[in-house]
Amino acid sequence: MAVSRAEVFPDDLRHDWTQEEVSALFELPFSDLIHQAQTAHRRYFDPNEVQVSTLLSIKTGGCPEDCGYCPQSARYDTGLERERLMPLEDVLAAAEAAKAKGSSRFCMGAAWRSPKDRDIEQVAEMVTAVKDLGMETCMTLGMLTDTQARRLKEAGLDYYNHNLDTSPEFYPRIITTRTYEDRLDTLNHVRGAGIHVCCGGIVGMGEGRADRAGLLRELANMPQHPESVPINLLVQVEGTPLHGSDSLDPFEFVRTVAAARILMPASRVRLSAGRTDMNDEMQALCFLAGANSVFYGEKLLTTDNPESEADRHLFERLGIRTAGCDAH
């Protein structure tokens, strides 16, 4: 029976999930799904510990790609001001501030289709400098060649974020300027260079449940699960094509988190963008469903994230401790 095969056993990470099996998880009664997710979570993690990363946009706006959700695409008028690549000192100051607030990982994002080799040299310096502060480093810069990935690894990069965003079927409705295959190629380069993979997607873009299941199936069937799996709730930005998308039932978001936890039990599942649209109760359900990582700090890349004070208060109310630097 499809559902019983979804049981997760320690050291038995599966990479052969069928669409039917993943869909069956989504169809479970809510309490059964959450119970299964909690059970999987507790086999691999301390359930009361959450890892926190802070984001910084090191190059903002003016991106040539047409990702329908993104305020940074040059194709949409979102009122965002373009900014050139940030100087090293400014990046370092932001990283120091994030560290002082208790963040263990610093994630630097650039609105590029793909970096040029001379960009790589500049961002490599940033990686080394942030790493020297004793923080874990993460970057998201668009598509990477094998050589570029190796250069970033050499500079000390711990994680690279590159999302699949949605199912292969729904993908062409969201982005036309790069393919699903392109994304898988970059992920292979990152993995091949020995950098930890941070890869997830966005829900609430008007996709169906089969697409949410399809995204998770793709992630879970990679030869190695991404160490970090961000589940973003679409941040609807005026001027982007996806602004005005039907909002997603909050329980469906929680189900997506729970299914991710069951399929990739040893990975960090990140409750990512969209938290300003969630109440504390919904976030608590996400943690119960197995989310154990968040972005911490008032800004994501260009949009708002909850106030740090509000997050600290929420963690305190839930008895959640924030994790220091670790492998995941």
Q: Where along the sequence are the contacts to ligand DTB (CB under 6 A)?
A: 55, 71, 109, 140, 161, 163, 200, 230, 232, 235, 272-273, 300-303
* Residue 320: how many other CB atoms lie within 10 Å: 19
Report the run of H or E that residue 202 belongs to, with start and end: strand 201-203
Burial class, 129, CB count within 10 angstroms (exposed 0-12 / middle 13-18 / buried 19+): middle
Q: Which residues of 59-81 are buried (b: 16+ CB within 10 A; e: fewer)?
A: bbbebebbbbbbbbbebbebebe
What is the nearest approach in angstroms of ligand SAM to the Cβ of residue 214? 16
Closest to 228 (Cα-Cα) out of 295, 316, 170, 289: 295
Nearer CB in complex with ligand DTB: 148/272: 272
User: Which one among 140, 167, 283, 305 touches ligand SAM, defined by CB under 6 A?
Assistant: 140
State the nearest-atom distance from the C-beta of 37 to ligand SF4, in Å.
28
Q: How far apart are CA 179 and CA 174, in angstroms?
A: 11
Residue 73 touches which member of ligand SF4, ligand SAM, ligand DTB, none, C-beta under 5-8 Å by kind: ligand SF4
Catalytic residue (choose from 183, 217, 255, 270)? 270
24 versus 300: smaller Cβ distance to ligand DTB: 300
Query: DSSP 3-state assignment of 174?
Result: coil
Binding mask 267-306 for ligand SAM (x = CB under 6 A): ------x---------------------------x-----
Active site residue 63: yes
270 assigned to active site: yes
User: Measured from the CB of residue 144, what is the shortest distance to ligand SF4 in angstroms?
Assistant: 13
Other beta carbons less than 10 A from residue 316's beta carbon: 10
Looking at 70, 191, 261, 286, which residue is catalytic?
A: 70
Q: Choose the contact partner of 302 out of ligand SAM, ligand DTB, ligand SF4, none; CB within 5 to 8 A by kind.
A: ligand DTB
Half-sphere exposure in the Cβ direction for 177 (13 Å, CA):
14
**Least Å distance between CB 67 and ligand SF4?**
3
Task: Answer yes or no: 199 catalytic.
Answer: no
User: Which among ligand SF4, ligand DTB, ligand SAM, none contacts residue 205 (Cβ within 5 to 8 A by kind)?
Assistant: none
> Which range binds ligand SAM by CB under 6 A, 9-17, 65-73, 191-199, 289-297?
65-73
* CA 103, 67, 165, 198 torsion-angle sign: negative
Give least dist CB 212 to ligand DTB, A: 15
**Is 226 a binder of ligand SF4 (CB under 6 A)?**
no
264's tokens: 């990739």
Structure tokens given for 190: 């990152």
What is the b/e burial string over 28-54, where b = at least 16 CB atoms within 10 angstroms of the residue's CB? Answer: beeeebbebbbebbeebbeeeebbbbb
Q: What residue ranges bind ligand SF4 (CB under 6 A)?
A: 63, 65, 67, 70, 72-73, 111, 113, 142
Which residues belong to the active site? 63, 67, 70, 107, 138, 198, 270
